[in-house]
């Protein structure tokens, strides 16, 4: 059976800041289409320059005026637009959350943005270096990345090795492992590196925590809860960011899509120690019309491309998609 790989793979607009604008309530460009492929008459969508522009509102999570951004198709372009709005360099952004300034991994921006979502950008704060003694095989970390080269901690398991090192927090960007700079390394590679560290020995992590406002200083969170069933956005539709091709406006995820994506994301964590809703959504999209596991695996080979998934993982993902179709999840 083939192994399924995955590859993560402009228009210019002007942004400006809006002083004293309220954060509460919905924000989005009006007149947004609900379908991305065809219009109501079954015709191709109009040229890009004739489509309504989608405008999103954004703030820096530690506090700032409100900015307006538009004209982005993927996460890297989104970061560039936010950085331009606030006059700093895009690499300063660690990650974004939707509709909350808190470091809430349940609200982490992934591959979809609700048309009325408010975007909060979390930028680099304090740097810290910590030595960890690996007393067990598993460290208790779940790793994700920001789509632009930064891997960071999404969850810390209660009672784990890392949970006992209180200086390590959810949201921390992992910059170096034992002196090796891992900026630009994908989350699954970082998870593998941490797993392969020898047991009963110490190792060093260089971390960068998100900048916090004074009122955000609070006891450490353990991160996202896997059982949470959070919707991607609050608006009537979502903007789907793609690594290849333009972003598209789509209906909100169906119940099938939400349950299937959540289950596949859980499988990613179980097999590889990562969470990635964009990857999970892509796998669900690829597998929804496939008739058997072999056809699904071949489609993954054609669609995704960075590394080979284990065969048993592919089988389990195929099973999860089938269970979601039948309403068994």
CATH number where 194 lies: 2.30.42.10
CB-based contact 240:36 (threshold 8 Å)? yes
- Per the structure, the count of domains in the chain is 2
CB-based contact 295:322 (threshold 8 Å)? no
**285 domain residue, yes or no:** yes
**8 domain residue, yes or no:** no
Q: What is the pLDDT of residues 11-44, one digit of tens each?
A: 333 334 443 333 333 333 333 333 333 343 445 5
Q: Based on the domain organization, do 180 and 278 belong to the same domain?
A: no
- Look up the pTM and report it: 0.68
Contacts of 23 (CB under 8 A, 6+ apart): 59, 66, 118
Q: Based on the domain organization, do 57 and 206 belong to the same domain?
A: yes
Count the Cβ atoms, other than its own, within 10 Å of residue 299.
18
Q: What is the pLDDT of residues 236-281, one digit of tens each?
A: 577 766 666 666 666 677 888 888 888 988 888 888 888 888 888 8
**239 domain residue, yes or no:** no
Q: Based on the domain organization, do 204 and 303 belong to the same domain?
A: no
Task: State the Cα–Cα distance between residues 213 and 194, nearest whole angstrom.
Answer: 31
Give me the sheet containing 248-251, strands edge to edge: 112-114, 237-240, 248-251
Task: State the Cα–Cα distance between residues 34 and 179, nearest whole angstrom.
Answer: 48
Q: Based on the domain organization, do 203 and 70 belong to the same domain?
A: yes
Residue 27: its pLDDT value, please? 37
User: Which residue, chain included where needed, has tokens 């307006």?
Assistant: 68
**245 domain residue, yes or no:** no
CB-based contact 262:254 (threshold 8 Å)? no
Q: Based on the domain organization, do 74 and 175 belong to the same domain?
A: yes
CB-based contact 182:313 (threshold 8 Å)? no
Task: State the Cα–Cα distance between residues 97 and 154, nearest whole angstrom.
Answer: 12
Task: State the Cα–Cα distance between residues 287 and 307, nearest whole angstrom.
Answer: 18
Q: Which helix (H) or strand (E) holds 152?
A: strand 151-156
Q: What is the pLDDT of residues 83-94, one digit of tens each?
A: 999 999 999 999
Q: Based on the domain organization, do 181 and 71 belong to the same domain?
A: yes
Q: Phi, psi (5° rounding) for residue 65?
A: -65, 175
By the 10 Å C-beta count (0-12 exposed, 13-18 middle, 19+ buried), 34 is classed as middle
Q: What is the pLDDT of residues 118-159, one digit of tens each?
A: 999 999 999 999 999 999 999 999 999 998 999 999 999 999
Q: Based on the domain organization, do 205 and 260 belong to the same domain?
A: no
CB-based contact 167:184 (threshold 8 Å)? no
Task: State the Cα–Cα distance between residues 31 and 203, nearest whole angstrom.
Answer: 53
Q: What is the pLDDT of residues 281-315, one digit of tens each?
A: 888 888 888 888 888 888 888 877 655 678 888 88
Q: Based on the domain organization, do 160 and 68 belong to the same domain?
A: yes
Q: Which helix (H) or strand (E) holds 296?
A: helix 293-303
Last residue of a domain, one of 158, 190, 210: 210
Q: Based on the domain organization, do 170 and 278 belong to the same domain?
A: no
Last residue of a domain, one of 180, 210, 240: 210
**243 domain residue, yes or no:** no
Q: Based on the domain organization, do 306 and 189 belong to the same domain?
A: no
Full residue range of the structural domain in which residue 297 is found:
253-326
Task: State the Cα–Cα distance between residues 164 and 237, nearest whole angstrom.
Answer: 41
Q: What is the pLDDT of residues 199-239, one digit of tens each?
A: 999 999 999 999 987 555 455 555 655 444 444 444 457 77
**234 domain residue, yes or no:** no
**148 domain residue, yes or no:** yes
Residue 233: its pLDDT value, please? 43
Task: State the Cα–Cα distance between residues 58 and 309, nearest whole angstrom.
Answer: 36
Last residue of a domain, one of 176, 210, 244: 210
Q: Based on the domain organization, do 198 and 270 belong to the same domain?
A: no
Q: Which helix (H) or strand (E) holds 144?
A: strand 141-145
User: For the stretch 163-176, what's the b/e string if a residue is b when 16 or more beta carbons lie within 10 angstroms of its beta carbon?
Assistant: bebeebbbbbbbbe
Q: Based on the domain organization, do 96 and 169 belong to the same domain?
A: yes
**149 domain residue, yes or no:** yes
Q: Are strands 66-69 and 56-60 parallel, antiparallel or unpaired?
A: antiparallel
**What are the tokens at 283?**
């796998």
């Amino acid at each position: 059976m083939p192994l399924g790989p995955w590859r993560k793979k402009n228009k210019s607009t002007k942004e400006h800041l809006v002083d004293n604008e309220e954060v509460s309530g919905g924000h989005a460009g009006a007149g947004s289409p609900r379908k991305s492929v065809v219009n109501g008459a079954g015709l191709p969508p109009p040229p890009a320059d004739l489509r309504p522009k989608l405008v999103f509102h954004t703030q820096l999570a530690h506090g700032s005026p409100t900015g307006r951004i538009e004209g982005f198709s993927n996460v890297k372009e989104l970061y560039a637009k936010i950085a331009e709005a606030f006059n700093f360099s895009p690499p300063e952004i660690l990650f974004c959350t939707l509709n909350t300034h808190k470091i809430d991994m349940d609200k982490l921006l992934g591959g979809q943005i609700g048309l009325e979502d408010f975007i909060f950008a979390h930028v680099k704060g304090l740097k810290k270096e910590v030595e960890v003694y690996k007393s067990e095989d598993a460290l208790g970390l779940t790793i994700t990345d920001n789509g632009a080269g930064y891997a960071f901690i999404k969850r810390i398991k209660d009672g784990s090795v890392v949970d006992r090192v209180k200086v390590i927090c959810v949201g921390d960007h992992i910059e170096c492992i034992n002196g090796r700079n891992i900026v630009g390394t994908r989350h699954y590679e970082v998870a593998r590196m941490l797993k392969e560290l020898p047991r009963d020995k110490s190792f060093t992590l260089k971390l960068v925590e998100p900048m916090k406002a004074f009122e955000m200083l609070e006891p450490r969170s353990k991160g996202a809860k896997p059982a949470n069933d959070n919707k991607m956005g609050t608006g009537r539709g979502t903007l789907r960011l793609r690594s290849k091709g333009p972003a598209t406006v789509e209906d909100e995820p169906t119940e099938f899509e939400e349950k299937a994506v959540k289950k596949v994301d859980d499988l990613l964590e179980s097999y590889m120690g990562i969470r990635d809703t964009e990857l999970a959504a892509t796998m669900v999209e690829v597998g929804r019309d496939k008739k058997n596991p072999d056809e699904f695996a071949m489609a993954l080979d054609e669609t995704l491309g960075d590394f080979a998934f284990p065969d048993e993982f592919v089988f389990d993902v195929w099973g999860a998609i089938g269970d979601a179709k039948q309403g068994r999840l």
